[in-house]
Amino acid sequence: MHGLGNDFVVIDARESSLPAMTPAIARALANRRTGIGCDQLILLQPSQTHAFRMRIFNADGGEVEACGNASRAVALLHGEPATIETGGGPITLEPMARGARVDMGKPRFEWDAIPLAYAMDTAAMPVGWETLDAPMAVNVGNPHVIFFVGDCDAIPLDVLGPVIEHDALFPERVNVNVASIAGPDHLKLRVWERGVGLTLACGTGACATAVAAIWRGLVNSPVRVTLPGGDLEIAWERGGTILMSGPATESFRGSFNWDDFASGAVA
Ligand SMILES: N[C@@H](CCC[C@H](N)C(=O)O)C(=O)O
């Protein structure tokens, strides 16, 4: 499945049992040369507390807390409204024609909730990397840092993204967003995703960037966020939860031999 070109292998194990997923197996499945190939591996499993549980593994094999685009894809797959469990907290899915609306929960702004390595004002961080400075950090289930720039297409995100992702300021690493204000209700955004790299779209990046722009009074809610893969609409009022709406697509259904990946036969 994919959301705006951010693509996923979704394994539906809600009614079947699987051997334990490991970072090595996730990495092997995500490998575009020798595996199936995806930005994120999504594993659906039973939940004790909610309709089901969505686990997310980045292409580097690391398990993470949230994925906005996959949430819409999973809403489409599930086909009816549901509140589900994720590592970043419960989220509510509402499928729509060719996509979904997702209540992503409340953003967090405390420095230790991002998390950062030490205390600072997360709304105007006194830090910078080359031409990028004074970002805002927001946790929307997963950690994001957001830079507002004149022209986000002019930023060498392929160079600065990995440097910022791995900076010691971010003990759990970070997703790096560069955004430009395209109008009072419109943002343009590019994202360097933690554990993946440049992607065509990042749903949580769009949520975090919209929240940061609304917080700073740069745009109104709802705001259209244009990513390289297409558009999302994000609505957020101070104190409230984030509503994300946009498309999702099922590309194909298939099967694979688990043992090929588990044994290391497929790197
Ligand atoms: N593509 C995702 C975000 C996936 C997780 C992220 N790379 C992280 O490490 O937190 C999205 O659509 O939100």
Instruction: Pick the atom of ligand 1 nearest to 205's CA.
Output: 13
Is 204 a domain residue? Answer: yes
- Looking at the fold, whether 36 and 74 belong to one and the same domain comes out as yes
The owner of tokens 């043992």 is 259
pLDDT tens string 202-216: 999 999 999 999 999
Measuring from atom 4 of ligand 1, which residue has the nearest CA?
A: 67
Same domain for 68 and 147, yes or no, is no
In a domain, 72, yes or no: yes
Core vs surface per residue 2-34: b (16+ CB within 10 A) or e: bbbebbbbbbeeeeeeeeebeeebbbbbbbeee
| Same domain? 9 vs 85 | yes
**Same domain for 144 and 36:** no
- 3-class DSSP state for residue 10? strand
Active site residue ranges: 67, 202
ipTM (interface predicted TM): 0.99
State whether 99 and 135 are in the same domain: no
The annotation status of 68 as a binding-site residue, yes or no, is yes
> Look-up: residue for tokens 């590309």?
251
The answer to whether residue 264 is domain-embedded is no
208-213-215-216 Cα dihedral, nearest 10 degrees? 140
Are 135 and 100 contained in the same domain?
Answer: no
Same domain flag for 100 and 133: no
Q: Please indicate, yes or no, if residue 119 is contained in any of the structural domains.
A: no
With cut-offs at 50, 70 and 90, classify the pLDDT of residue 265.
low
Query: 101: which strand partners?
Result: 94, 245
Q: Which domain holds residue 137?
A: 128-247
- Ligand 1 centre to CA of 9 (Å) is 14
Per-residue confidence (pLDDT) for residue 220, from 0 to 100:
98
Distance 15 CA to ligand 1 centre (A): 26
Per the domain annotation, does 260 fall within a domain? Answer: no
Q: Is residue 167 domain-shared with residue 243, that is, in the same domain?
A: yes
Whether the CB-CB separation of 128 and 118 falls below 8 Å is answered with no
Please give the full DSSP string across 84-119, using - where no structure is assigned. EB-TT--EEEEEETTEEEEE----B--TTTTT-SS-
Q: What are phi and psi of 247, to 5 degrees?
A: -80, 160
* Residue 249, beta-bridge partner list: 2
Question: Do 99 and 6 fall into the same domain?
Answer: yes
> Using CA atoms, how far apart are residues 32 and 20, in angstroms rounded to an integer?
22
The closest residue, in CA terms, to atom 8 on ligand 1 is: 194
Backbone angles phi, psi at 64, to 5 degrees: -125, 175
Note whether 135 and 241 are same-domain residues: yes
Q: What is the mean pLDDT of residues 113-117?
A: 98
Any domain includes 52:
yes
Would 27 be classed as within a structural domain?
Answer: yes
Residue 74 has pLDDT above 60, yes or no: yes
10-60 confidence digits (pLDDT tens) = 999 999 888 899 999 999 999 999 999 999 999 999 999 999 999 999 999
Q: Which atom of ligand 1 is nearest to the CA of 6?
A: 1
* One domain for residues 147 and 203: yes
Q: Is 142 assigned to a binding site? A: yes
pLDDT digits (tens, 9 = 90+) for 162-210: 999 999 999 999 999 999 999 999 999 999 999 999 999 999 999 999 9
In eight-state DSSP terms, residue 158 is H
How many distinct structural domains can be found in the chain? 2
Whose tokens are 């020798």? That residue is 34
- Which residue minimizes the CA distance to atom 9 of ligand 1? 194
Domain membership of residue 115 (yes or no) is no
- Same domain, yes or no, for 179 and 77? no
Ligand 1: residues whose CB is within 6 Å? 6, 39-40, 56, 58, 64, 67-69, 142, 175, 193-196, 199, 202-204
- Residue 181 is predicted with a pLDDT of 98
Q: What is the CATH number of the domain that holds 75?
A: 3.10.310.10
